[in-house]
Amino acid sequence: MKNVKPEEILIEKELHICPQCGYGDGFHTSFVRLTKEKCKVILICPNCHSRYDPNWEVDV
């Protein structure tokens, strides 16, 4: 797996179109563990596989 830092992305009115390739049906989600309690949510474009970091953290 490539260790490329996901591009930061801001959600304005809505987010379902990939800024990279224009794919418009939304994103896959994946999770990266930060600590024992926290994960970060990464969005992945199903079409061009660009990765985006919306800066979401979840407690798990």
Residue 45 in the binding site for Zn ion (CB under 5 A): yes
Provide the 10 A C-beta neighbour count for residue 4.
8
Tokens of 22: 């224009």
Question: According to CB under 5 A, which one of 7, 11, 16, 21 is a site residue for Zn ion?
Answer: 21
CA distances from 40 to 20, 23, 24, 57 (A): 21, 23, 23, 4
CB of 17 to Zn ion, least distance (A): 9
Residue 43 lies near Zn ion (rule: CB under 5 A): no
Which residues lie near Zn ion (CB under 5 A)? 18, 20-21, 23, 45, 47-48, 50
